[in-house]
Chain A
Amino acid sequence: SQQGEEDPQALSIQEGENATMNCSYKTSINNLQWYRQNSGRGLVHLILIRSNEREKHSGRLRVTLDTSKKSSSLLITASRAADTASYFCATEPDRGSTLGRLYFGRGTQLTVWP
């Protein structure tokens, strides 16, 4: 399977703490994207990191990518109760026939307690 795999499956922290989620994948990629989903609702695009990038920041989000290990991490700093959601990584393979489509992992369920 080309799907990403997130780790851990579930993460429970207190407000103010940092949350780190990891994603591993199997094939070479063009980019890796992180999404958030609140309770079975729509997917919100968080950040995209290209295969030639190693780190990217957006507000309280920090994403790293290690293509040699085929892994990525998403760090949410100073978490808030509103960050409670499922977080998915999605990879876009770099092969011609699969360009454009995204392969999703199963997600990490993050719960942030007030």
Chain B
Amino acid sequence: DSGVTQTPKHLITATGQRVTLRCSPRSGDLSVYWYQQSLDQGLQFLIQYYNGEERAKGNILERFSAQQFPDLHSELNLSSLELGDSALYFCASSVYPRGPGMDEQFFGPGTRLTVL
């Protein structure tokens, strides 16, 4: 158990819908990262938040957005869903900015999204 929790585990929805994925980082971690894993693209970085502020953006679609709340949990919102959005969405957390031995990113169990 990495200490990172994600809900829900599975989500099945229809095209055009909107969903929210939730992540709670490990205790003490200020940075949260979202990744998408699909058969086509593999594991891709989407976005990073640090202490409530957006820190870096990767290959995140405009239909997707995220935020990190004062209690450090994060939500990833996916809207106008398409079939191609079906994937495993991971949240990871780390102590960032880093210090000695604090570079590791620890991943949650993921949310499997199926868009029908």
- Identify the A interface with B (CB < 8 A): 3, 30-31, 33, 35, 40-45, 48, 50, 88, 90, 92, 97-107
Selected contact of A45 from candidates B42, B43, B107, CB within 8 Å:
B107
B45–A103 touching, CB < 8 Å: yes
Give complex CA distance A34, B105 in Å.
11
B48 lies within 8 A of A42 (CB): no
Q: Is the CB of B2 within 8 A of A97?
A: no
A20 to B116, alpha carbons, bound, how many Å? 39
A98→B90 CA distance, assembly (Å): 19
Interface residues on B, range: 20 to 34
Interface residues as binary, B73-114 with A (CB distance below 8 Å gives 1, 0 otherwise) = 000000000000000101010101000000111111110100
Question: Nearest residue in B to A43 (C-beta to C-beta)?
Answer: B107
Q: Considering the chains assembled together, what is the distance between the CA atoms of A105 and B93 in angstroms?
A: 20
Q: Is the CB of B88 within 8 A of A40?
A: yes
- Give chain A residues whose Cβ lies under 8 Å from the Cβ of B42: 3, 104-107
Contacts of A40 in B (CB 8 A): 88, 112
**Is the Cβ of A92 less than 8 Å from the Cβ of B103?**
yes
Nearest CB in chain A to that of B96: its residue: A100
Q: Is B11's beta carbon under 8 Å from chain A?
A: no
A97, B56: Cβ atoms closer than 8 Å: yes
Question: Given contacts A88-B43, A100-B31, are A42 and B103 in contact (CB under 8 A)?
Answer: no
Given known pairs A3-B42, A101-B33, A101-B48, the reply for A42 and B109 (CB within 8 Å) is yes
